Amino acid sequence: MNRYDLAGRTAIVTGGAGGIGRAIASAFIASGAHVCLWDRNETALAAAVSDLGSAAEQRVLDITDAAAVEAAARDCHARWGRIDILVNNAGILGEVKPVWETDPENFRRVLEVNLFGAYLVTRAVVGLMRGQEARPMRGHVVNVASIQGKEGMPRAGAYSASKAGLIALTKTVAKETAEEAISVTCITPAAAETSMAKEITSERRAEILARIPMRRFVEVEEIARLVLWLSSDDCSFSTGGIFDISGGRATY
């Protein structure tokens, strides 16, 4: 397998205590990077950092708290001198109900975490990346959206809308930074076996599986390998791209 050299790079992975975030952090560390895991779940975060070893550090924060996000970005930048990689991965699923049965507060919170939170983190970190030396890249941003953001999904209105918004935010920030040696990309995974997948019923699970032509869930390590490439300088002419990893569910 090809290997990516991230020696000396600093990465922030939001939602780093969860299944996908932890796998991404592990792939970064195996490639030589130092990783700051940002998550609001203090217990899971401590466990993740202890598993990942000395190249991982933690920051307990809620990504919807603008002041906390700005302070964390500043601290990370001051400590490491630069932030090479940002993965906007923190997210929540919310209710699984048709839109007319949903609770407006739940809808608002899903948008707040998955879209507004990613915006706050991007705003803080890309602002700092822009001032860094290009070598040759100033930075890479990878957003973790979902196949549901491309296609919509019955009984996941807030989640699908939030991920569609994240896809549009990716394309926008990519155009804003295209001349600044910062790549901004997005991935759209199908379902993975993380704590998020454990929130759904067996019927919902079967419904999701039936939509995936490969007839299986994606492994978190498969997602991590795609993010690894997008976060490396080998990804030098793809910005604004939305990268499918859905086992054939989307062919676009």
Task: List contacts with ligand NAD (CB under 6 A).
Answer: 15, 17-21, 39-41, 44, 62-64, 89-92, 113, 117, 144, 146, 189, 191-192, 194-197
Minimum Å gap between C-beta 87 and ligand NAD is: 9
Tell how far CA 33 is from the center of its chain.
Answer: 17
Cα 54 from Cα 119, distance rounded (Å): 29
Residue closer to ligand NAD (CB basis): 172 or 195: 195
Active-site residue (options: 4, 119, 159, 252)? 159
Residue 20 or 142: the one with the smaller Cβ distance to ligand NAD is 20
Beta-bridge mates of residue 188: 244
Q: What is the residue type of 40?
A: R
> CB of residue 191 vs ligand NAD: minimum separation in angstroms?
4
Q: How far apart are CA 196 and CA 45, in angstroms?
A: 16
Give the number of other Cβ atoms within 10 Å of residue 70's Cβ.
Answer: 17
126's tokens: 């890309």
Nearest Cα residue to 202 out of 96, 131, 100, 120 = 96
The minimum distance between CB 31 and ligand NAD, in angstroms, equals 20
Q: Could you tell me the two tokens for 20?
A: 């996908």
Nearest position to ligand NAD, beta carbon: 18
Q: Which is nearer to ligand NAD, 62 or 70 (CB)?
A: 62
4 is catalytic: no
Whether 185 contacts 170, CB under 8 Å? yes
Is the Cβ of residue 193 or residue 233 nearer to ligand NAD in the bound state?
Answer: 193
CB of 28 to ligand NAD, least distance (A): 15
Residues marked active site are found at 159
